[in-house]
Structures are given as structure tokens and as C-alpha cells.
Amino acid sequence: MVLQFACLTAHSAAEVVPACPVLANACRTGFPEKTNLERKNIMKDDLPAASRYRPSIFAVPFQRHGDGTAVELLSTSEQDALIAISRLVTVRRHTVLYPEGGDARFAYNIVSGVAETYQLLPNGDKRITAFLFPRDLMGLSENGAYVATAQSLTPLVAYRIPVEALAEILERDPRLDIGLLCKLCHELRRSQHHTITVSKNDAPARLASFLIWIQHAYPEQGRIEGEVMLPMSRHDIADYLGLSVESVSRGLHVLETQEAVRRKGPRLITVLDPAKLRSMAGQD
């Protein structure tokens, strides 16, 4: 499992100060030298935010429980252990966190904000592979290199975790090891959902599935019930769903015409009829 999670890693873009004052000296001496992004003051350590944010990983556990929704996988002691080896950093919006093919030394646990990962196709086209939200892990790697580029879509706060230090903790904590395996399975199901979504024949069905997914994947938006805030651009949505921007616009128009949703702004949508939206997504 240590090797499996070593596939979840990342680089960054923000100012940098240790996540916990008590651990300041240990953090300064125990971490590798700063990345170019840190030297350029794009990535910052966020000491004030350390009192508000703790590492958090949500996923559906293996054992049957309640209504089958995602739950917190980290205990308080496990959160403390991650804080002890991590830096809490803030990242500006639209900042590349790490490049495809870059040296994968860090994993990131997002605690606030949204990011995307993408790969460049041989013809130069960009293909978005995932959107990442609070309580997600980011930094998929293979053979020590990142398999995709990661970029913040909004201002981002995350714990940056050195992979080598994380591997040592996993060797001592089987419960955390299992928790991260649950998260990896959760991400696999998310990837499968994406594959099913883009296989739908028409744009309205893909958009309906996407909106339903965003409601569940990004609940920490401070919105009123039924509102969906889209942190990504229409162009990003089109790329993720395998559509043109024009098809996204036409698809949203169809959802509005059917009175399933109403657009309240470029990135704000109200779900008027959840049952109809599920029906149009083929989920009824």
C-alpha cells in the first residue's frame, strides 16, 4: 500500500511557512529545499490558516455503514501525524502546481479550493483528466514522475506532504494505510463515473450527470440548497466531457427548456427539478 500511495504526489505554487508553530524548526530543517514556484513567491506557507484547517480525507469505507455516503477517514492522531510532516500552503488561482513528467516528491491534500489535472495530447490539445476538491488527494505519479499537470482553478489551500515521510508513517500505521486504500478505490469509482458520463450520446445527458456529480463532489460552497456553483470555466467543462463549448451551451439550454435547471450566472446554476435532472442523466 505504501507503493500504491506513493503514486499520489505533487509540486506547488504559493508562499511557505510551516503548518504548525510548534513544528516550525523541525519543518524548516526536515524538508527539501524550496521549489522554483516557492522562490517566485507563488506558493506560500499559510500559518494563519493552520488554526482553521486540518488534513481531511473523505471516502466511502469498505464496510457497510449508514446510507453509504463518504465519511472522514482520518482520526485525530492521524491528522496530527500528517500535520507534523507537512506544510500548509496557499496557492494562487490558475497556477501550475506541478508539470506532467516532473519529479514527484510531494502529495497534496486539498483543504480549500479546486484544482484540475490535465495531459497534453500529441497534437498539443489539452485533455482534462480530473477535477479535485476539498478532502481530495492529488499527485498521481508513475515511476517517480507525475502523469499529468495540475493547476489550481481557484485560490487553493492544501497540505503538501513529502512522499518519503508519508511512506514511513504508512509503514507504522496500518489503519491509515487502509484509509488511503479506501480513498484510492473512491477515486477509481470517480474515474469510472467519468468514463460512463462521456460515453452518453447527447450533450444534455452528459451535462446533467456532471451537475449531479458536482453537487456531491463539491458541497462546501456556502450555497443555498439546489444551487450549483461551477468553479471551472465552460471551456474546461467542455474539455472534461468531450464536448465543444458550443455543445455545452446548447446542452444547458436544453436543460433549461425542460425546466430541470435555471442559469443564474456564468457559473451559478439552480436545480429546479432534481428528479427530472436525474432522468435526463439516465439515472432514474
Model confidence pLDDT, tens digit, residues 129-178:
999 999 999 887 889 898 999 999 999 999 999 989 998 998 998 888 88
One domain for residues 13 and 53: yes
What's the pLDDT score for residue 70? 80
One domain for residues 15 and 117: yes
Classify residue 276: in a domain, yes or no: yes
Place 22 in a pLDDT band, splitting at 50, 70 and 90: very low
Grid coordinates representing 133 are: 476538491
One domain for residues 16 and 146: yes
Q: What is the CA radius of gyration of the chain?
A: 19
Q: CA geometry: angle at 161 spanning 157 and 163, to 5°? A: 150
Write the CB contacts of 225 (distance below 8 Å, at least 6 apart in sequence): none
Which conformational region is residue 222 in: left (phi greater than 0), alpha (psi within -120 to 50 degrees), or beta?
A: left
Backbone angles phi, psi at 261, to 5 degrees: -140, 170
What CATH number is attached to the domain comprising 230?
1.10.10.10
One domain for residues 148 and 231: no
One domain for residues 133 and 235: no
What pTM was estimated for this model as a whole? Answer: 0.78
Classify residue 106: in a domain, yes or no: yes
One domain for residues 158 and 249: no
Which residue range is the domain that position 227 belongs to? Answer: 200-280
One domain for residues 108 and 150: yes
Estimate to the nearest angstrom the gap between the alpha carbon of 166 and the chain centroid: 19
Buried b (16+ CB within 10 A) or exposed e, 226-257: eebbbbbebebbbbbbbbeeebbeebbebbee
Task: Pick the last residue of a domain from 190, 210, 234.
Answer: 190
One domain for residues 222 and 81: no
Tell the burial category of 125 from Cβ atoms under 10 Å away from its Cβ (0-12, 13-18, 19+).
exposed
8-state DSSP, 249: H
Instruction: Identify which has the larger pLDDT, 41 or 205.
Output: 205
One domain for residues 226 and 144: no
Return the bridge partners of 162, or none.
106
One domain for residues 17 and 117: yes
In this predicted model, what pLDDT tens digit does every residue of 242-262 receive, in sequence order?
A: 999 999 999 999 999 999 999
**In the predicted structure, residue 34 carries a pLDDT above the cut 70:** no
One domain for residues 210 and 140: no
Task: Pick the last residue of a domain from 165, 190, 215.
Answer: 190
Classify residue 195: in a domain, yes or no: no
Q: Which DSSP helix (H) or strand (E) runs through 110?
A: strand 106-112
Write the CB contacts of 99 (distance below 8 Å, at least 6 apart in sequence): 11, 146, 149
Question: What's the structural domain count of the chain?
Answer: 2
Task: Pick the last residue of a domain from 140, 168, 190.
Answer: 190
